Amino acid sequence: MLRFLLQRLIVAAAVALTVSVITFVLSHVAIDPAVAVAPDSATDADIAAIRAQYGFDRPLPVQYLGYLGDIVTLDLGTSYLTGEPVAGMIAERVPTTALLAVFSILFALALAIPLGVLAASFPNTMIDRLCLLLAVAGQAIPNFWAGLILILIFGVNLQWLPISGSSSLAHFVLPTIALGTFAMPALMRLTRAGMLDVLASDFVRTHRAMGLAPAAILFRWGLSNALLPVISLTAVQFGFMLGGSIIIESVFAIHGVGYLAWQSFSRADMPVIQAIVLLVSLAYIVLTLAADLINAWMDPRIRSAA
């Protein structure tokens, strides 16, 4: 167990370093940062001065080490556009995005698990096919379009829910549905596959032979086994939510990290862009690591192999 943990940690750290190299290349090599920082009216001499002032004239490895040092001390640079520190801009928007992602993943799970169990309980019937169709549809519907259609139906026609902003919980309903629908199919398919295996297993036959209640066999004794892989996929999908939030936040004008990212992309505000890419990637890495650990901890077979 300890060995496994250590191995995962080393890989995760190596991946994180690689990602930081990529974001460094994006922000320091792919574009000339001095030109980006300089005002439009700057002369070549001004740019050369900026280059020297910010240290952009140092060798790239040295610049990278400096960049790494900045990241570790949470200095993510300042926005070209507003001049604000990037770390602060992101930090004040993280709660909104985190809230949206949590709501969305809960919504996705609340749909995916019962539907997956239902489909597995009646394999190859109409019910199963209907669930499968739902999954195929969920995968095929782009979430920004789902967002627009939800706005049209519930915001404009029925006028039940607000369509932009994030000032109340009601504002989160439509974005949650739009974003959650996107994560639902994969979770549902995995739940279904897991439950199919479980329901055909010897131990479920034992539970049935012992006369345990069918609902308890399904949801307590069976689902506990089928959920192990679903939990790790949930962590991964949660990472996708963070990435997907850029689209949904721009559709619903929710001022979270995704919205900030969209604004920065449109205006090529490189320090903000590279910081968001770096942070979301790090969140991915941590989440994947967490998924592995949760899985190992949840599964008594792995846990006791410590």
Partner 1 sequence: MSVPAAQVRRPARWRAALTHKSLVIGGGVVLLIAIAAILAPVLTPFDPAQPDIANRLKSPFWMADTVPGHYLGTDQLGRDYLTRLLYGARISLVIGLVAVAISATIGITLGLVAGYFGGKVDAVIGFVITTRLSMPLVLIALAVVAIAGGSLTTVTLVIGLLIWDQFAVVTRTATQQARSADYVRAAEAMGCSLPHILAREILPNIMPAVIVVATVELANAILLEAALSFLGLGVQAPLPSWGLMLSEGKNFMFFDPWLITLPGLCLVTLTMAINLMGDGLRDALRSGRR
Partner 2 sequence: MSALTLLDVDNLCVTLPTASGPLSAVRGVSLSLRRGETLGIVGESGCGKSMTALSLLNLLPSGAKATMSRYAFDGETVTGRGKRGIRNLRGNRIGMIFQEPMTALNPVFPIGSQLTAVYRRHKGGSEAAARERAVMLLERVGISNAAARLAQFPHQLSGGLRQRVMIAMALMCEPSLIIADEPTTALDVTIQMQILKLLADIKTAFGTGLILITHDLGVVSHVADKIAVMYAGEVVETGRTAEILAAPRHPYTVGLLGSLPDPSRTAPGAPLATIPGTVPSLIDPPDACAFADRCARVLPRCTAAAPALRQDGPGRSIRCVNPEPAAWVA
Which positions from 284 to 303 touch partner 2 by CB under 8 A, shown as an x/- string?
--------------xxxx--
Shortest distance (Å) from residue 219 CB to partner 1: 27
114 is a contact residue toward partner 1 (CB under 8 A): no
Exactly one of 3, 40, 202, 266 binds partner 2 (CB under 8 A); which one?
A: 202
Tell me whether residue 218 or residue 285 sits nearer to partner 2 (CB atom).
218
Q: What is the dihedral of CA 282, 284, 285, 291, to 10 degrees?
A: 140
228 is a contact residue toward partner 2 (CB under 8 A): yes
139 is a contact residue toward partner 2 (CB under 8 A): no
Exactly one of 59, 61, 83, 211 binds partner 2 (CB under 8 A); which one?
A: 211
Residues 183-242 that bind partner 1 (CB under 8 A): 239-240, 242
Exactly one of 225, 231, 233, 255 binds partner 2 (CB under 8 A); which one?
A: 225
CA 264, 285, 242, 84 dihedral sign is negative
**Among partner 2, partner 1, none, what does residue 107 contact (CB within 5–8 Å per kind)?**
none
124 is a contact residue toward partner 1 (CB under 8 A): no
Q: Could you count the other beta carbons within 10 Å of the beta carbon of residue 298?
A: 14
Shortest distance (Å) from residue 16 CB to partner 1: 8
149 is a contact residue toward partner 1 (CB under 8 A): yes
Contact residues toward partner 1 (CB under 8 A) are 11, 14-15, 18-19, 22, 26, 30-31, 132, 136-137, 139-142, 144-145, 148-149, 151-152, 156, 239-240, 242-244, 246-247, 250-251, 261-262, 264-266, 268, 270, 273-274, 276-277, 280-281, 284-285, 288
Which positions touch partner 2 (CB under 8 A)?
A: 201-203, 205-213, 216, 221, 224-225, 228, 298-301, 304
